[in-house]
Structure 1
Amino acid sequence: MSTESVSGSATEAVRQTLVIPPEAAGRRLDQVLSEAWRDYSRSRLAAWIRSGEILLDGQPVKPKQAVMPGQRVELDGRLEAHPDNPRPQDIELEVLVEDPELFIVNKPPGLVVHPGSGNPDGTLVNALLHRDPNLAPLPRAGLIHRLDKDTSGCLVIARTLKAHRFLVAAMKRREIKRHYKALVWGELIAGGTVDEPLGRHPVDRRRQVVRPDGRRAVTHYRIDRRLCGATLLDVELETGRTHQIRVHMAHLRHPIIGDPVYGRRGAPAGLSEAQRDAWQGFGRQALHAWRIRLPHPDGDHEVSAEAPLPRDLLDLLDVLEP
């Protein structure tokens, strides 16, 4: 199917044309267009058809209209800002990878990813919309996955509708590989895998727990560094459930240092005074998304990025050296 398109900003006019090919004879218009114009969902195309922004041979039609070879389809529509996206705000971002289809950013600890209860603004999404206003039509400004407020590191953001659909599907197929550094209680002997299902706590709905009726969750880990009273792990997610690494490490009885929900209070015995003070003074979970690899939406190469360990975590690691 041959198409030609002209589009400006993602919040402005979008124009495309299509000549129906012989193999599409007798098929529904919305089906044919969803295959030809993959940047747009079928529901969005159907809405444009119903509003008269898509014409067939110059005439308004219904989405289920059967098409014939040689007919001309014209789209003169508009991509509106997603209704859930907040206002842009000038918040500094560290961008690790930037190309026309995606961003990979290094989220600092303490930055909330998207607005929610208690955090109406000042989030990563606000910052992204300031950095690139063309993200406005995308859900959550193109975010493909999330990190907890106090977890730092790599996050992927789609910059186009095409990239968003591709990357969401890639995440579901587990083609986006995410590696974390996790500083946990105790001196582990070897790495391993945790394959335990996760679900909501029956009483505290903000917490996740291992439960037999939960969703499958798989976490792989290996030892990176052995430290005084602690171990730095290299963790790879096979699945991506809420709080997965934090819950699985706590399930192993090696919770992440500083975790306010699933961790332990105090510090282990045997530390020096300086080590104990640094341990107890670490004000967040010691978890950092340090590396990510994913297929590019163009389908012809892989994209990867690494985010250096933040200063607070580096300082704690230095103090805990044997």
Structure 2
Amino acid sequence: MGKPDIIYEDNDIIVCYKPAGIATQTRRIGQQDMESFIRNYRAAKNEPPYVGIVHRLDQPVEGVMVFAKNQKAAASLSRQIKEHTTEKYYRAASRGQGVSGTAVEEEEAWHTLTDYISFDKLTNTSKITSEKDKLAKKAVLQYRIISNECNKTEFDIKLLTGRHHQIRLQLANIGYPLIGDTKYGKPASNNSGTGSKSGRTGGGVREQLALCSYKLVFDHPATGERMTFELP
């Protein structure tokens, strides 16, 4: 498991890298999470330990996140996320073969997936259902293939709605379960091969979830400047 890292900081926001395996926020005693990491970081600088959590990444997902340092900044960032004016980009990888009829063969072209997803709190899983399901929420993402070699397909994804396990579920539904996905993947998606600890390169016997939030775009809550943060 890697360590959290500060990418950018000013008076209003802290942008961090969250490693896979660390929760955004947890109530489990003794378990590290991003909230406590930032609280401790601010306390060490004799700053108020306020942490505004405006979005989340699932524990097995790595990537870039933004946190607010005051309530005004938190309100602005939360509003942007609610109004879908932020941009969230992910990298994902699968060894699936796809479902016949899905438009994923054409590399570099962008495609859209639109589904309705319902969440089961008891099992902490989601499923694709119909628009008629009163508990379902609309889930939309755009994707393109950036690599298709050695029985491994890599995707670039723009997330347009933030539903529970959305990317994992929607890609699995078209025959591309993510490498390392034990909830929605098939056995073949968890075998050893290309892919690494980070789910991006390398090899290993038991791979972690091959999903990384690599780019985040939003307006600065104080200045209004459009800001982009991207992992190398």
Q: Which amino acid aligns with 2:166?
A: Q
Query: What do residues 189-242 of structure 1 show as CA deviations (whole Å, max 9, x unaligned)?
Result: 1341110011124x9531011112211110110111112112110000101111
C-alpha distance in 2 between matches for 1:131 and 1:99 = 14
Is 1:244 aligned to residue 166 of structure 2? yes
Higher normalized helix content (fraction of residues): 1
Unaligned runs of at least 5 residues, structure 2:
98-103, 197-201
Identity of aligned pairs, percent? 24
Query: What do residues 155-211 of structure 1 show as CA deviations (whole Å, max 9, x unaligned)?
Result: 11011111001110110000110000000223641341110011124x953101111
SS at match of 2:137: coil
Give the 3 Å change call, closer, same or farther, for CA 224–157 of structure 1 in structure 2: same
Give the 3 Å change call, closer, same or farther, for CA 217–150 of structure 1 in structure 2: same
Partner of 1:200: 119
Give the TM-score of the pair, scaled to structure 2: 0.81
**Superposition RMSD in Å:** 2.6
State which of 188, 210, 215 in structure 2 corresponds to 1:286.
210
Partner of 1:124: 34
Q: What does 1:210-289 correspond to in 2, within 5 Å?
A: 210-212=128-130, 213=133, 214-266=136-188, 275=194, 281-289=205-213
Partner of 2:9: 98
Structure with bigger gyration radius: 1
C-alpha distance in 2 between matches for 1:294 and 1:135 = 24
C-alpha distance in 2 between matches for 1:93 and 1:131 = 11
Q: Between Structure 1 and Structure 2, how many residues are aligned?
A: 210
Partner of 1:303: 227
Query: What do residues 274-307 of structure 1 show as CA deviations (whole Å, max 9, x unaligned)?
Result: 6599777243210000001001112431111012
Unaligned runs of at least 5 residues, structure 1:
1-90, 309-322
Is 1:186 aligned to residue 102 of structure 2? no
Higher normalized strand content (fraction of residues): 2
Give the TM-score of the pair, scaled to structure 1: 0.60
State which of 10, 13, 18 in structure 2 corresponds to 1:107.
18
Q: Which has the higher contact order (CA 8 A, sep 6+)?
A: 2
State which of 160, 167, 170 in structure 1 corresponds to 2:80.
170
Partner of 1:70: none
SS at match of 1:153: strand
Moved more, 275-284 or 177-186: 275-284
